[in-house]
Amino acid sequence: MLGITRRETLRQGLNLAGFLTLADVALPALAQGETDVPFTDYPANFTAGGTGSPRRTFDIRTIDGYSVAKDKFFVTQHFNQPEIEANAYRLKVTGMVNKPLELSLADLRKLRGTELVVGFECSGNSGRAFQGLSSCARFTGVPLREVLNQAGVGPKAREVVFFGTDRGDLDVAFRQQTYKLNQQFGRSVTLENATKPEPMLAWALNGDPLTVPQGAPLRLIMPGWYGVANVKWLSEIHLQEDRYLGNFQVRWYRSVVGVGGTGEDKDPDTQWIETEITRMHLKSAVARVRKTGNSYRIVGFVLNDGTPLKSVEVRIDDGPWQMATLDPANTKFSWKLFTYKWESPSPGPHTLVSRATDAEGNVQPTADELKRKKTFLEDNAQFPRKITIS
Ligand SMILES: Nc1nc2c(c(=O)[nH]1)N[C@H]1C(S)=C(S)[C@@H](COP(=O)(O)O)O[C@H]1N2
Ligand SMILES: [Mo]
């Protein structure tokens, strides 16, 4: 049932080819002789890196392609960062499988490998973090479904749960009771999503072994999904029939949006829709402005679920939306770079904003259009930036 068809094998081959071409293309974000025009909207003391350990934001002013370096790739998690001895590491596959597995890294490396350029952001990323909870890199590993195939998916299995090695105390509220329970980080996807060609168990980033903050020695990569789905320090894959209702699946990670009526809290005509955090909502952001002489280039990125893009447009001050150019080296699940040529702008302050539209007609919303979302996750609002031309 989970056999890989010839067409999909070809497609994975193409992904690899796509990457090779990518490496050959001179990165247009950094044309020679150009300099950066500083943004005036960053606080003077802004440093990417975030406060407190062990969190790190990526400074999008330094975006230069599809391979954010391992010591620059953004980092966030809820508990500790477990250090796992690679030689002692075993991935368990349990639950509704024909043959429970315990796989070493060497066992995994014997399976057919795969490589994919994947960009993702934390669902809590937004303009407040200068969009720095996002990155893109080339991941190497094995397709998740190769491992599921090896275990043999039982006939009743519907849900695939991923547990990290990291754990901590969580409040679990049940009616009048609250229990403080020590639990592992866990997330799930449906069997249907788990057995698509792209999900990957990855051990390398840009060709180097994952670092501890990135989830060494093995993490899940769910291309097109928000960061939270990409479980780090993966210890166990558990197959079950029923839905998984863990803290990071249905409590801490969800959106609440008012549909219909006035959107006031107690309006009986407004329906409050609560949904899980799964695939990335279409977002673009202006990240850099580059200049040579009086010629300027606005450079930015798009993140989404892999749906083909129809357009990215840029608007300067109150002017019309203008088409930006998408980089030919973009791939389905990479972040998608765009540039807009801005000739001879007038001196003084300017506001720049971008807007992405996909082939299914989704348009990146304004902050105003997102106001009916109560919770702050999945903030894909347009992100106006400020610069001054001297
Ligand atoms: N085991 C584990 N995996 C995890 C998390 C976690 O707390 N524990 N946090 C998730 C969240 S919320 C995000 S945004 C991404 C961040 O991945 P990165 O640190 O490699 O950027 O990891 C995800 N995977
Ligand atoms: Mo996240």
Q: What pLDDT does 51 receive?
A: 52
Mean per-residue pLDDT, 98-115:
97
Distance from residue 159's CA to the centre of ligand 1 (Å): 20
Confidence band for 138, pLDDT divided at 50, 70 and 90: very high
Q: Which pLDDT score is estimated for 25?
A: 41
Q: Which atom of ligand 1 is nearest to the CA of 226?
A: 14
pLDDT on residue 28: 58
Q: What local confidence, expressed as pLDDT, does residue 292 receive? A: 92
Distance from the CA of 77 to the center of ligand 2, in angstroms? Answer: 7
Tens of pLDDT, residues 18-70: 343 443 344 556 777 899 999 999 988 888 776 555 889 999 999 999 999 99
Give the number of whichever ligand sits closest to the CA of residue 214. Answer: 1
CA distance between the termini of the chain: 63
In testing the pocket of ligand 1, which one of 126, 232, 249, 251 has its CB within 8 Å of the most ligand atoms?
232
Mean pLDDT (whole number) for 246-269: 96
Q: Nearest ligand to the C-alpha of residue 121?
A: 1
Residue 85 has pLDDT above 50, yes or no: yes
pLDDT digits (tens, 9 = 90+) for 264-288: 999 999 999 999 999 999 999 999 9
**Ligand 1: which of 76, 169, 335 to mutate, judged by most atoms within 8 Å of the beta carbon?**
76
> Could you say which ligand is closest to the alpha carbon of residue 168?
1
The mean per-residue pLDDT over the stretch 308-336 comes to: 97
What pLDDT is recorded for position 6?
38
The answer on pLDDT for 342 being more than 70 is yes
| CATH 2.60.40.650 correct for 283-389 | yes
Task: From the CA of 253, give the closest atom in ligand 1.
Answer: 12
169-226 pLDDT tens trace: 999 999 999 999 999 999 999 999 999 999 999 999 999 999 999 999 999 999 999 9
Q: Which residues line ligand 1 (CB under 6 A)?
A: 73-79, 122, 164, 166, 185, 214, 227-228, 230-233
Burial 179-188 (b: 16+ CB within 10 A, else e): eeeebbbbbb
Residue identifier of the C-alpha nearest atom 19 of ligand 1: 75
**Bond into 197 cis (ω within 30):** no
- How far, in Å, is the centroid of ligand 1 from the Cα of 211? 13
Distance 97 CA to ligand 1 centre (A): 26
pLDDT band at 3 (very low <50, low <70, confident <90, very high): very low
- Cα 214 to ligand 2 centre (Å): 13
C-alpha radius of gyration, the chain, whole number: 22
Mean pLDDT of 355-367: 98
Ligand 1 atom nearest 76 alpha carbon = 19
Tell me what pLDDT residue 46 has: 85
Question: What atom in ligand 1 is closest to the CA of residue 135?
Answer: 21
Q: Is the pLDDT of residue 12 over 60?
A: no
Mean pLDDT, residues 159-164: 98
How many angstroms separate the alpha carbon of residue 76 from the centre of ligand 1? Answer: 6
Model pLDDT, residue 50: 61
Q: What is the mean pLDDT of residues 255-269?
A: 95
Nearest-CA residue for atom 24 of ligand 1: 231
Which pLDDT band, with edges at 50, 70 and 90, does 4 fall under?
very low
Atom of ligand 1 nearest to the CA of 166: 1
Protein fold of 47-244: Sulfite Oxidase; Chain A, domain 2 (3.90.420)
| One-letter-per-residue 3-state SS of the chain | CCCCCHHHHHHHHHHHHHHHHHHHCCCHHHCCCCEECCECCCCCCCCCCCCCCCCECCCHHHCCCCCCCCCCCCECCCCCCCCCCCCCCCEEEEECECCCEEECHHHHHCCCCEEEEEEEECCCCCHHHCCCCEEEEEEEEEEHHHHHHHHCECCCCCEEEEEEEEEEEEEEEECCEEEEEEEEEEEEEEHHHHCCCCCEEEEEECCEECCHHHCCCCEEECCCECHHHCCCCEEEEEEECCCCCCHHHHHCCEEEEEECCCCCCCCCCCEEEEEECCECCCEEEEEEEEEECCEEEEEEEEECCCCCEEEEEEEECCCCCEECEECCCCCCCCCEEEEEEEECCCCEEEEEEEEEEECCCCECCCCHHHCCECCCCCCCCCCCEEEEEC
Domain boundaries, the chain: 47-244, 283-389
| Mean of the per-residue pLDDT values of the chain | 92
